[in-house]
A = this chain, B = another copy of it.
Amino acid sequence: MKMSGGVEWALHCCVVLTASHTPVPAAKLAELHDVSSSYLAKQLQALARAGLIHSVQGKSGGYVLTRAPESITLLDVVRAVDGPGPTFVCTEIRQRGPFATPADACTTPCPVARAMWAAEDAWRQALAAVTIADLAGDVDATSGPEALVGIQAWLTGGAS
């Protein structure tokens, strides 16, 4: 089991978008992170489809966060990029084979699925407890506040 690598890109982009209140084109985000702009576009489209960022077209268009960074959780981003479905899928293996449990007796999910889903819920809860604003704050604390303002200047300015 390996998580889609695009999740990392999307999270970093969300943190960067915190610094700019004007639309930022995808090409600029790609250059900033030194990744393929074509592929990054796909992740941003997923974020836009989920309503986390808003896309504006035209000459000075780009992407902007729709909500305040404090109200965007990591779970929102992960669900948008990686898909909302559960990682563990129960194929109802107990209803097959010579000792199959009759279908009408399966009122509750099988114990295996229950345990796995409980663990997934713990994971989601941990993700939902962290917001993009928290991450931006951590970046400020570790790299210094001048990092984000420098990036902001570079984003708004046209310099390459």
Q: How far is the CA of A16 from the CA of B99 in the complex (A)?
A: 12
Once A2-B1, A87-B3 are accepted as A-B contacts, the answer to whether A31 and B98 lie under 8 Å apart by CB is yes
Question: What is the copy number of this chain in the assembly?
Answer: 2
Which residues of A108-149 are within 8 A (CB) of B?
108, 111-116, 118-120, 122-127, 130, 134-135, 138-139, 142-143, 147
Q: Is chain A's interface secondary structure helix, strand, loop, or mixed overall?
A: helix
CB distance from A145 to the nearest CB of B (A): 14
- Tell me if A72 is interfacial: C-beta within 8 Å of chain B: no
Q: How far is the CA of A70 from the CA of B159 in the complex (A)?
A: 62
Number of A residues near B (Cβ < 8 Å) is: 61
Identify A34's interface contact among B15, B96, B130, CB under 8 A.
B96
